[in-house]
Chains A and B, each alone.
Chain A
Amino acid sequence: MTIRIDARFAQLKKENRSAFVTFLMAGDPDPVTSLEVIKALPKAGADIIEIGMPFTDPMADGPSIQAAGLRALKAGMTLKKTLAMVRDFRKADDATPIVLMGYYNPIYIYGVDRFLADAKSAGVDGLIVVDLPPEEDSELCVPAMKAGLNFIRLATPTTDDKRLPAVLANTSGFVYYVSVTGITGSASADSRAVGEAVARIKRHTALPVCVGFGIRTPEAARAIAGEADGAVVGTALVDALRGSLDSSGKATVKTVTAVTELTAALAAGVRGTR
């Protein structure tokens, strides 16, 4: 198992604060800019970096992240290039955990064993694959564990107490609680309901619980981080990136700072919680 995720949560525990987890799409708006953005995230306050693997048909994503994936694909992004990007990132940063998030088909076509070996050697720590529930664990989850990668599972408001043990069984690194039923970028979560849900999950596991979906502002990040071990922000960062692009969708001099400024503000929100 890679140790970066466990080490990061151990360190945060010492600092008595929650994790700020960022999500951006690999290759958005182009592979070069995307690498620059990702490289700048730790200094701006990201504790864990989730990187989206672009897919044509992201059925759990809202319009912002759908568009980000299509921008990346249009710019020539592939799964192979996403892994190369992680490899480049690792040259300068060997501590910040990297979690790849996406859908199964590109991984299946790349070849599961080859993907796991390449991801591990590139410096990937964990995987979140939206369309692989526990019922399909033999596809990727079990092989990933054997290959030494964390398979991070999504728990949702529809995951009841009866089902939680199955969802948590092969999960490692952390648990990602999806705070609303819905797609990314949809309605924001109520922090009290989130607190109750996190407490419920913690009755079943010792793993850290991070919460995502519907967190857009430093205030919301602060409220959620107060109830969980981490807050994940994706759509708001993707929107900030998009807002910096020129009219043809190309990166501008403002692109990296547009993302890092919001990252810093959200990180300050998260850090203000305890």
Chain B
Amino acid sequence: MSQLRPNSYRSGPDERGHFGIFGGRFVAETLMPLILDLEKAYAEAKADPAFHAEMNGYLKNYVGRPSPLYFAERLTEHLGGAKIYLKREELNHTGSHKVNNVLGQLMVARRMGKKRIIAETGAGQHGVATATLCARFGLECFVYMGAVDVERQQPNVIRMEMLGAKVIPVQSGSRTLKDAMNEALRDWVTNVHNTFYCIGTVAGPHPYPMMVRDFQSVIGEETRKQMQETEGRLPDSLVACIGGGSNAMGLFHPFLDDPSVEMFGVEAAGHGLTQLHAASLAGGRPGVLHGNRTYLLMDDDGQIQDAHSISAGLDYPGIGPEHSWLHDVGRVKYLSATDAEALEGFQLLSRLEGIIPALEPAHAIAKVMELAPQRPKDHLMVVNLSGRGDKDVPQVGDILRGKTK
């Protein structure tokens, strides 16, 4: 790949699924024919106006889109700098941005005639969205979830079961999101004939990173339109948290070719970047895992290291390949927030705006607390409030009362 700046930051991936050196299709032969079928089915759906019409109908009446772009007046006053807007993805049905992608993928699955759906989940938000739409479409649903996450995100486990999904606790490895993805891939390779793997983030083999990005881009497209309507111009900066990076990619992608718009992705720094963390761009290097080449946390022998984050949704040692590329070409700036900083963001937003965020976007709020005061008052900053905090109430309650660390 050329080192030159591309004419557009929005033209990737190439036909082999590469964003620069990142991406690709690193999967077992058993899965490869199905992945090629999926690529074809998605290309057909994408070109079919009826597919989009049906999807827009569900987005409006089932998901509740467009999600509001809300001026966070008290947060803005408190921080004393940039004018802060929240993109209210937490108001979507199921409580996060995950539903945008699941809706799209399950509509593709239906076109392919697949009746059995599997998914991995970390915080459980993707699992809940998948379980919800499987209920809506009458599909069988199996969700792989690390045993550690099953423990710390009980409300979502119960929710998935109520929706008729089977939640399978994963006991291998670090028993978090990475291992849930391994187990989902093992299921897929076994049941490839009738199963559709609904991946929750902008990672995995091509075409997943592209497809998930496309389905999430509704976030940025709406933001663009809403900001034009409200302020008569584009935002100056965008801030979003990153595990795999689907909410960030959804917000960023429609703005990548607008040079005036600064973008900040916030990784999870866990206990700090010199200790256990989940910031694969800050602390990792390019490698190959889960079907794609991307930045990964690993040792010198190429063995994947366990990530750590207070937030189950960010607790993953990798990141979507398009983010790795945007990092390398310098279009997006990637920062990180620690567990402690995220908890501060969590509390600040709750108390100032009456909105309890999920621990994942609390990382983005934590960086807004640093970035906004450094910006002038006419600077328009949008932060993606990608999920609501109901699921985290028991965990954060215990931490704040000093019961756990």
Residues in A lying within 8 Å of B, measured CB to CB? 54-63, 66, 73, 78-80, 103-110, 130-136, 153-160, 163, 167, 178, 181-183, 186
Contacts and interface: CB of A to CB of B under 8 A. Distances in A.
Interface of B is mostly: mixed
Contacts, number: 118
Interface string B285-320: 001111100001010111110000000000000000
Nearest to B171: A63
Nearest to A103: B288
19 contacts: A57-B289, A59-B185, A60-B189, A78-B301, A79-B302, A105-B289, A105-B296, A106-B302, A109-B298, A109-B302, A131-B27, A133-B25, A134-B32, A154-B29, A155-B29, A158-B192, A159-B33, A181-B191, A182-B189
Interface in B177-217: 178-179, 182, 185-186, 189-193
Contact of A60 (B186, B288, B300): B186
A181 B189 contact: yes
Interface of A is mostly: loop
Contacts of B25: 133, 135-136
B173 A56 contact: yes
A138 to B, nearest CB: 10
B191 to A, nearest CB: 8
B302 A107 contact: yes
Interface residues of B, number: 36
Given A57-B178, A108-B287, A183-B186, A156 B29 contact: yes
Contact of B29 (A59, A80, A108, A133): A133
B284 to A, nearest CB: 11
B9 interface: no
B53 to A, nearest CB: 33
Contacts of B24: 135-136
Contacts of A178: 29-30
Nearest to B186: A183
Contacts of B178: 57
B287 A133 contact: no
Contacts of A163: 32-33
A62 B32 CA distance: 19
A12 B87 CA distance: 68
Nearest to A187: B190
Contacts of A106: 301-303
B16 interface: yes
